[in-house]
Each structure stands twice: as structure tokens, then as C-alpha cells.
Amino acid sequence: MVTSIECPEPNGVAPVNGTHRCVANGTLDITVLGMNSGTAMDGIDCALVRYRQASPEAPLHMDLLQYDEIPVPHDIKKTILAMLRETKTTPSLMSQLNVQLGTMFGETVKLFCTKHNIPMDSIDLIGSHGQTIWLLSMPEAGEIRSAFCLGEGTIMSSLTHITTVTDFRMAEQAVGRQGAPLVALIDGLLLHHLTEWRICQNIGGIANLCVIPPDSEGGVDAMVDWDCGPGNMFIDAAMRYFTNGEMEYDRDGEWGVQGTVNQAVVDKFLDNNKYCNRLPPKTTGREVFGDNEAQEIIDECLALGMSKYDTVATITRMTAQNIVKQYRTFFPKFNIDIDKIAGVYMCGGGARNPNIIKYLKSQLPNSKILRLDETGVPSDAKEAVSFAQQALEAILGRAALVPINSDSLMPNTISGKIAPGLRWREVMAMAVEFGKGQGQLPTVKEMVIDRPYTAWKP
């Protein structure tokens, strides 16, 4: 359960454009830039977070100093989407794309800092998710579990001179998990409550959920999570198709609300889709719900004589109805009573689609449908904040929370690949002194938000 308190100067909250140095005095005080480019590729989320912790056993304090979304350059987005749609490329192009994306992320750091008057040397660490190109989380016979995220960390650290942590998905797979979802850590810390059952429901390109029991029934030590299936990905593909690429998404659900849902098409898809009916743990991505799969649905709708608005309305309902299907089908497997869910906290672009929210409210009358913003962290910023914290845990060698339905419950203290920057030794000196003498630092289970962040208005 997050406690939000005002923490003005001189209690240690730095101004956004201030400069501070890591001090090796046994306490934690570090500023981290978390970055995320999701499956929808609609922008690069940047969250600058200051973390403080008096000792490894004390609550972790966090202060979101600045958040923004930087657009993905259209030429890069077009190249990646075409490559994923055609599923063919060359080792040479893939190698170049890794450097190109690393450069893009590095330049994004510079743009973010310039735009918000943030000295580059005030940032101690970067945690970059990179761009997921392929996620083989549930391999078939003869395949090998793997994750392929591009955006070279050494290029980023070279451009920014800031120590950079990347490749979180592969690090999770290395200890036997699927590599997604990766946000239970932040979901649990933000939402655990003494008595309430809560869900964090993200609707990005892919929809994913995390159920957080009340502290009295296990809290963050008893969380379950999985990817539901399609989020905005099919909707975005339909919008690009019908507007010849001029519109990337259904803003405020304006197209969907004008159409009529073809329930037979929705039910057929959800009844027959292998992934949607698979028992968790499970993860997915563009490999299963990409543009090619979206085009099949679009073609089916058009063959039935449906309008473009009807098609978008129907595809939108697929996303919303599948989320409820996941709750009703699989919650009983984990002894979760859907009627006891006090609040569903929404985040991701789909949280702003009123057609999705209206459906969820109609199907979950006993639960409040809320925005994650109520925790003090904007819903749009959550994943970038998550990667900021995961980068922090990586340099500390501290294991993060693991949902109990994961393939493996092995603690992961190597949660990413580290590319040292100019101040690497300074950052690591602080990390070594924090909890010095302890063989393993305890997992963070309590977080305090020093100041609710209210500056972001999408």
C-alpha cells in the first residue's frame, strides 16, 4: 500500500533540474531515468525518478520528478512494423537496427533533458526496456524460449555517458520465467492494501493483469499476473488500415462508438483463439496478435458487409470482453473471487477508451473501475517507472517480487545487462556501501511516494 506524503525541501527532494551525486554513506539516494517503448510503438515513455532508502530494511521512497512521452520517429516505426509483418529480414539489417534503436533511445534521453531543463549529469542511471522485436515465451516442440529486444545499451551509455541497464526480458527468462509481464513489482508496491483485493489492468498493445491480494491474505507475496491477449494492437491496426496510416489509434473511442458490435464475430474469435483459452502463466505479443492477425479479422468483418466503424467497434469489444473472460475463466483456478475485487486500476492507452471502460463497468458491477493515477503515479508513466526501479535493483543485485503463478520462483538478482557510463564507479560505490556486509539484500515490499505527480495531462 502506497503512502503519499508531501516531502518538500529540505527533506531531500531535489528539484527536477537539480544536480546531485551518489554518496557512498550507506544510504540509497539515486536518480534513475526509466524508458519504455511498448508493443504499440506509439511513443517512448520517459520517467525520471529519485529513489531514497535509509537502509535495506526501510521503506523505499520514490519521487517522480518528470514524465513525458517522446514520439517514435515515423521512419523507424514503419521499418519495424513492416519487418514484423513480413517476418523476414537479414542478419545485417537486424544488426544495424540494434544500433539504430540504441541511438534513438540515447537521443531521446537528450531530447527529454533539453525539453525539461534537466542536466544530463544529474541522472545516475538509465533503465531502458528497449524495443521488443520477438518474444518466444511459450515455445512449441523444437523451439527455445527466448526474447529479442533491440536498442543497444552500450550505444546509449556512450551517447549519454550514463550507466544503462537493458534486456530485462532475457534476464527473466534466464531464471526460468517467460519474460513478461514485467511489472508486478511496481503493481504490487503501488496497490497492495490491508483489506482490499485489487487488480492492475494494463491495456497497451497487449493487455495484461496483476491481481494483488490484501495484506491479510498474502499481499505482494501472493500476487498473480499474466498477459490477457490483444490490447490496443488490433484496434490500432484497424485504424491504420482504414485511414491509410493517417490515424494511429481510435482517439477517445470516437470510431468505435459510431459502430455496432458484431457479437458473433467477437464470440467466434474468443472461443477459438488458442492463447485466450490457455491456462496461465502465459505471455504474448505481436508474434500472436500482430498486424497479420488483425488483417484477418478486418477482412472477415468487411466480407460480412460491416462498415469501418462497425469493424472498429467489434475489435474493441474483443479486447474488452477478453479481459472479463480472463477474470471469469481463470480467477477460480487461483482461488480468487471476482466478486471480492474492490478496485480495478486501469493504465495504458486503452484506459482512455470509453468504449472499453463502459463495457468493463457493465460486467464488473461490484468493482470500482479506477485510474492508476489515484496512487500518485500517472497510469501512462507506470511502465517507465517500473524499468527505472528494475535498473536500480540490477545495480544493487537485489531480487524483485515474483508472482506466485510464475514458471519459476527463483529470485533474480541479475535483472538486466549493464553498460557502464562515466560515473560507473561512483554509482557502484554507493550500491556496494548500501547494505554492506549483507550477503543478499531483502526484496522491497513497501514503497512511499513522496509527492503525488500531477503534472502529466495526456
Residue 100: pLDDT over 80: yes
Domain assignment of residue 78, given as a range: 3-177+416-449
Residues 246 and 369 in one domain: yes
Note the pLDDT of residue 259: 98
The string of pLDDT tens digits covering residues 420-438 is 999 999 999 999 999 999 9
Contacts of residue 320, Cβ cutoff 8 Å, sequence gap at least 6: 355, 356, 359, 360
Q: Which single residue is written with the C-alpha cell 511498448?
A: 38
Q: Are 429 and 24 in contact (CB under 8 A)?
A: yes
Q: What is the mean pLDDT of residues 111-129?
A: 97
The string of pLDDT tens digits covering residues 250-270 is 999 999 999 999 999 999 999
The string of pLDDT tens digits covering residues 341-358 is 999 999 999 999 999 999
The string of pLDDT tens digits covering residues 370-418 is 999 999 999 999 999 999 999 999 999 999 999 999 999 999 988 899 9
Residues 91 and 41 in one domain: yes
pLDDT mean across residues, the chain: 92
Q: What is the mean pLDDT of residues 165-170?
A: 95
For residue 292, give the nearest of 111, 68, 88 by alpha carbon: 88
The string of pLDDT tens digits covering residues 298-309 is 999 999 999 999
**Percent of all residues in the chain with a pLDDT value above 70, rounded to a whole number:** 95
Note the pLDDT of residue 19: 63
Q: How many domains in the chain?
A: 2
Note the pLDDT of residue 18: 58
Q: Are 259 and 314 in contact (CB under 8 A)?
A: yes
Q: Is residue 41 part of a domain?
A: yes
Q: Is residue 389 part of a domain?
A: no
Residues 140 and 224 in one domain: no
Query: DSSP secondary structure string, 324-341?
Result: HHHHHHHGGGGT--GGGE
Which SS3 state, helix, strand or coil, does residue 280 take? coil
Q: Binning pLDDT at 50, 70 and 90, where does residue 4 land?
A: very low
Q: Which three cell numbers stand for residue 408?
A: 519459476
Distance, CA of 439 to CA of 396 (rounded, Å): 12
Residue 186: pLDDT over 80: yes
Residue 367: pLDDT over 80: yes
Residues 148 and 248 in one domain: no
Residues 20 and 168 in one domain: yes
Q: Is pLDDT larger for residue 346 or for residue 290?
A: 346
The mean-pLDDT minimum among 92-96, 222-226, 334-338, 405-409 falls in 92-96
Q: Backbone phi, then psi, for 186, in 5-degree steps?
A: -75, -35
Residues 141 and 198 in one domain: no
Q: Binning pLDDT at 50, 70 and 90, where does residue 17 land?
A: low
**pTM to 2 decimal places:** 0.92
Residues 165 and 196 in one domain: no
Distance, CA of 250 to CA of 352 (rounded, Å): 10
**Percent of all residues in the chain with a pLDDT value above 90, rounded to a whole number:** 80
Which of 317, 347, 375 delimits the end of a domain? 375
Residues 303 and 435 in one domain: no
Q: Is residue 454 part of a domain?
A: no
The string of pLDDT tens digits covering residues 48-69 is 999 999 999 999 999 999 999 9
